[in-house]
Amino acid sequence: MANVLFTNVRVFDGSGAMPFSGEVLVQGNRIARVGRGTGTSGIGGVTVIDGAGAFLMPGMVEAHTHFSWNDQPTLDSIQRMPVEEHILWCAEVAGRYLDMGWTSCVGAATAKPRLDVVIRNAINKGDIPGPRYLAASQEITVQGGLGDESPPHLPFPELSFGAIVSGPEEMRRTVRQFVKCGVDSLKINLSGEYITGLPAELTPFSDEEVAMCVAEAERFGKRVAAHARSCESVKQCVRHGIEVIYHASFTDDEALDLLEANKDRHFVAPGLAWLVTTSSHAGQWGLTPEVTKKMGYHRELEIAVESLKKMIRRGIRILPGGDYGFAWTPHGTNARDLEYFVKYLGMSNMEALLAATAYGGPIMRMGDVLGQVREGYLADILLVDGDPLADITVLQDRKRILAVMKDGEFHRAPEVRSQRTTRWAA
Amino acid sequence: MAEILFTNVRILDGSGQMPWAGAVLVQGNRIKQVGRTPASVSAFGATVIDAAGATLMPGLVEAHTHFSWNDAATLQEIQRMPVEEHVLWCAKVARRYLEAGWTSCVGAACAKPRLDVVIRDAIDKGQIPGPRYLAASQEITVPGGLGDETLPHVPYPEFSFGVLVNGADDMRRVVRMFLKYGVDSIKLNLSGDNFTPHAPANTTWMTDAEVAAAMEEVRLRGKRCAVHARSAASVKQALRHGVEIIYHASFTDEEALDMLEEHRDRVFVAPGMAILIAMLEAAEPWGISRARAVEMGYQIELEAAVESLRAMHKRGVRVLPGGDYGFAFTPHCDNARDLEFFVKYLGFTPMEAICSATQYGGQIMMKGNELGQIREGFLADLLLVDGDPLANLSILRDPKRLLAVMKDGRFVKAPAIAAARTMGRAA
């Protein structure tokens, strides 16, 4: 593995400190040295990248990823895709995330039982390019809940992206089935979702079922993540020790107190882009603001913003990512979340960047080696043309992300300046 | 439209004429101009590749490709691979073929119903890199024939890479299913194979009624049929029914050879010699000693095949390279060995071997008038080779000697520039 010295870069290290001019030396897959100034010399055998003042930062971590959502306007379209095309789609999308600077992703649910696991394994084997990935199960849900897409006269499980269970024993069987597949986490849908005709404030699972899910997951050392929009479902998460909470739109003082009391254990990834864009930017797919207002999304967005602001004030970790993979939230545009964190939740650019990096390491369960530019940490590094601390939207522009390094290797190497038209076959 | 000029190249054009020093201009996805001298083509604004005398030749065509065979030592291993992994495997193999200089491949059969079709579509969409590809069905076979991998007590079709049919009506149903999936060709296993001792190479399994039903459906839909035919009876059966692509053809008699010669403008033979040779010489590490291979019948079959194929070659029957790479002892992308085997065993000249992989290749891809040769107006599938394949065919197997691969006017593998630099500046 080649050693690389980034010189003449502004280092944003993910510690919370302001960036400084300096150098970063990568040896193998680790960051060997982070220095201020440009004093490094006498290192032989390294590739030197003169960053010309570019912004060097840790690779970003997406906390709520669905590779298998297929950039279509309906949930139904997800399962119209046969498994063969679906796995190629996931492989393509995995490459796209890495391309856009997401060097790690937390799988939030997969549409067919093994898609996430197979993609994770293929990435780890080096068969396909992609981020570090934690593989999820399908969404475990109830009859008629979010994830059950089968009409009454077509009761075929293949039509649903969710796995439907009824009662603790079915939950046990289903969890074990996914554990057999090799998932890193189980996904459970603890609340409704307006687009499916179910109120976000619905909480359909019994505590017995949730307890079974968590107990079986723990038995096998797996993690649980929950789709939890309703206040009651957020409390279910804290009561049952569900570590990763997606959405958390509706809260009350009790829910916030519970979260705050357990803030070192939980991660909240709200998937704000879904609420924002579904409310206001999905008109060309028939979801005009009038329609989505009637559905309930406008009210939910307002309430979610209030809930999330309170969580930030209480020190609860809010992370970017979530529900990209629809026509109006296409994969790869995920850095919009950082913009929304600033715009809607009042985060500073610094806080938004830390949410994507410093909090990302811990949600990947690699907090002591990932998410910061520090000596000894894994070399997941972005080189950005511009200053995200001044303009957070530069991270949405592929051209401004000059280089992406994962595990010490360039997925995208910085372009060299000179272009030549005459080549000499060596 | 982007133009690329290859100058200072030795052009081996795939027509059979000896190479000459010249220049080739590519515009878009086509060959625009072929020059008889290095300086005869000028193109202002083109990217110029000075090849310093390297050989420029048409991309190779594999006539008998199984992307879904997974480089394992047994047939059972193929179906131990779940469909998700299998698709990714095929995608990876497709890329490797292209990078190895095989710019076109004729799918010979896939292991699960839709693997070939999905890979072809993904290549055509530009989603994954791969050769031009004609997608095959699974191997259609009969209970107990080659392709039936079920055990008596485990009778599930998922265990078999073949699809089992019984009778003409069943054949029709299965062929229609594959046509629905969008295959370019239907594969029938007319003979057995020495790899499956219960159904050896010299046995013939399908009824004429079954073959006729398949051919009727194939013709109705304007598709093609390819057959696994090792026995003389199966070769003749294929020819009687008008099958265009005959794989193996190891055993023949005078009648079979006469029929092949009579239909030589229509028929392609891709023998897949590598597996016969590998079983005898290279399968020991996987538990098949030479003695065992001889006992399985491979020595007899190789001798018969060499005799049959020499006779076909003399009679002007088109014999093409490729076939049954994808086993542990014939791993994917070693396929250019076939050209050496054609010279060594069948008496081809190196030029004939090259033409079988290029000019005949264009024809089996059903694009004989625009693929497989370096001619003005032809599709720009080109290889730049360091050395002279006519003097040493084995350089085609050496990735380092393959300086560049172009498919459809675009570099899959671009020629390296002479100057390497360790200092990069972020632009």
pLDDT tens for A403-413 read 999 999 999 99
User: Could you tell me if A177 and A208 lie in one domain?
Assistant: yes
Q: What is the mean pLDDT of chain B?
A: 95
Q: Are A138 and A162 in contact (CB under 8 A)?
A: yes
Q: Output the pLDDT for position B417.
A: 65
Q: Are B109 and B83 in contact (CB under 8 A)?
A: no
Q: How far is B40 from chain A (nearest CA, A)?
A: 18
Smallest CA–CA distance from A181 into chain B, residue = B82
The answer to the question of residue A298 being in a domain is yes
Give the Cα separation of A401 and B165 in Å (integer): 56
Mean pLDDT of B11-35: 97
SS3 at position A266: coil
Q: Is the pLDDT of residue A63 over 70?
A: yes
Count of helices and strands (H, E) across chain A: 13, 18
User: Could you tell me if A159 and A281 lie in one domain?
Assistant: yes
User: Could you tell me if A7 and A118 lie in one domain?
Assistant: no
Quote the pTM value: 0.92
With beta carbons under 8 A apart, name residues in chain B contacting A118. 82, 84-85, 88
Q: Is the pLDDT of residue B131 over 80?
A: yes
User: Could you tell me if A306 and A392 lie in one domain?
Assistant: no
Find the CB nearest A426 among B82, B91, B417. Answer: B417
User: Could you tell me if A54 and A117 lie in one domain?
Assistant: no
Q: Output the pLDDT for position B334.
A: 95
A214-248 per-position pLDDT tens digit: 999 999 999 999 999 999 999 999 999 999 999 99
Q: What is the amino acid identity at position A31?
A: I
User: Could you tell me if A143 and A278 lie in one domain?
Assistant: yes
Render B52-98 in DSSP notation, one character per residue: TT-EEEEPEEEEEE-TT--SBSSSHHHHHS-HHHHHHHHHHHHHHHH
Q: Is A122 on the interface with B (CB under 8 A)?
A: yes
Please state, as a whole number, how many other Cβ atoms lie within 10 Å of the Cβ of residue B2: 12
Where is pLDDT greater, at A246 or A42? A246
Please state, as a whole number, how many other Cβ atoms lie within 10 Å of the Cβ of residue A142: 21
Structure tokens given for A408: 């010490």
A120-129 per-position pLDDT tens digit: 999 999 999 9
∠ at Cα B300 (B295, B304), nearest 5°? 160
**B418–A424 CB contact, under 8 Å:** yes
Beta-sheet pairing, B410-413 with B402-407: antiparallel
Q: Output the pLDDT for position B420.
A: 40
Structurally, chain A folds into a number of domains equal to 2
User: Could you tell me if A99 and A211 lie in one domain?
Assistant: yes
Cβ contacts of residue B403 below 8 Å, gap of 6+? A425, A426, B51, B54, B384, B385, B386, B413, B415, B416
Give the Cα separation of A179 and A195 in Å (integer): 30
For B211, B225, B236, the CA distances from B240, given in Å and listed in that order, are 10, 13, 6
Q: Best residue in A7, A46, A49, A84 to probe B by mutation, most B CBs within 10 Å? A: A84
User: Could you tell me if A231 and A279 lie in one domain?
Assistant: yes
Mean pLDDT of B241-254: 98
Percent of chain B exceeding pLDDT 70 equals: 97
Smallest CA–CA distance from B96 into chain A, residue = A127
**A383–B426 CB contact, under 8 Å:** yes
Mean pLDDT of B70-75: 94
ipTM here: 0.88
The answer to the question of residue A357 being in a domain is no
Q: Is the pLDDT of residue B419 over 70?
A: no
Q: Is A426 on the interface with B (CB under 8 A)?
A: yes
**A416–B427 CB contact, under 8 Å:** yes
Q: Output the pLDDT for position A416.
A: 65
Structure tokens given for A19: 């960036």
Q: Is A181 on the interface with B (CB under 8 A)?
A: no
Q: Output the pLDDT for position A44.
A: 74
For A127, A184, A254, B15, the CA distances from A113, given in Å and listed in that order, are 20, 13, 36, 52
Confidence band for A19, pLDDT divided at 50, 70 and 90: very high
User: Could you tell me if A76 and A153 lie in one domain?
Assistant: yes
Provide the CATH number for the domain around residue A405.
Answer: 2.30.40.10
Q: Report which of B255, B223, B251 is spatially closest to residue B242, judged by C-alpha positions.
A: B223
With beta carbons under 8 A apart, name residues in chain B contacting A115. 84
The answer to the question of residue A346 being in a domain is no
**A118–B92 CB contact, under 8 Å:** no
User: Could you tell me if A68 and A174 lie in one domain?
Assistant: yes
**What is chain A's percent helix, strand, coil content, to nearest 5?**
35, 25, 40
Residues written for chain A: 426
Q: What is the mean pLDDT of chain A?
A: 95
Percent of chain A exceeding pLDDT 90 equals: 93
With beta carbons under 8 A apart, name residues in chain B contacting A414. 424-427
With beta carbons under 8 A apart, name residues in chain A contacting B426. 49-52, 54, 383, 385, 402-403, 414-415
CA atoms within 13 A on the CB side of A340: 23
With beta carbons under 8 A apart, name residues in chain B contacting A91. 88, 91
**B415–A114 CB contact, under 8 Å:** no
Q: Are B137 and B114 in contact (CB under 8 A)?
A: no
Residue identified by tokens 């093609």 is: B224
The answer to the question of residue A236 being in a domain is yes
Confidence band for B140, pLDDT divided at 50, 70 and 90: very high
The answer to the question of residue A353 being in a domain is no
For A168, A214, A260, B19, B54, the CA distances from A171, given in Å and listed in that order, are 5, 10, 29, 70, 65
SS3 at position B177: helix
User: Could you tell me if A32 and A165 lie in one domain?
Assistant: no
Q: Is A51 on the interface with B (CB under 8 A)?
A: yes
> Domain ends where: A334, A357, A383?
A334
Domain that holds residue A380: 3-59+371-412
Q: How far is B96 from chain A (nearest CA, A)?
A: 12
Confidence band for B422, pLDDT divided at 50, 70 and 90: very low
Positive or negative torsion for Cα B128, B132, B135, B141: negative
Provide the CATH number for the domain around residue A232.
Answer: 3.20.20.140
Q: Output the pLDDT for position B57.
A: 98
Where is pLDDT greater, at B60 or A423? B60
A306-329 per-position pLDDT tens digit: 999 999 999 999 999 989 999 999
Q: Output the pLDDT for position A41.
A: 59
Q: Report which of B151, B65, B130, B74 is spatially closest to residue B334, judged by C-alpha positions.
A: B65
User: Which residues of chain B are at the A interface, by a Cβ-Cβ cutoff of 8 Å?
Assistant: 47-52, 54, 82-85, 87-88, 91-92, 114-115, 118, 121-122, 127-128, 384, 386, 403-404, 414-418, 421-427
Q: Output the pLDDT for position A2.
A: 72
∠ at Cα B274 (B270, B278), nearest 5°? 155
The answer to the question of residue A418 being in a domain is no
**B423–A417 CB contact, under 8 Å:** no
Q: How far is B12 from chain A (nearest CA, A)?
A: 17
SS3 at position A25: strand
Find the CB nearest A50 among B54, B416, B426. Answer: B426
**A423–B50 CB contact, under 8 Å:** yes
Q: What are phi and psi of A72, to 5 degrees?
A: -105, 165
Domain annotation for chain B: domains and CATH numbers: 3-58+373-413 (2.30.40.10), 60-364 (3.20.20.140)
With beta carbons under 8 A apart, name residues in chain B contacting A92. 127
Mean pLDDT of B129-142: 98
Q: Is the pLDDT of residue A347 over 50?
A: yes
Confidence band for B427, pLDDT divided at 50, 70 and 90: very low
The answer to the question of residue A345 being in a domain is no
Q: Output the pLDDT for position A423.
A: 52
Q: Output the pLDDT for position A262.
A: 98
User: Could you tell me if A199 and A281 lie in one domain?
Assistant: yes
> Domain ends where: A334, A361, A386?
A334
The answer to the question of residue A359 being in a domain is no
Cβ contacts of residue B220 below 8 Å, gap of 6+? none
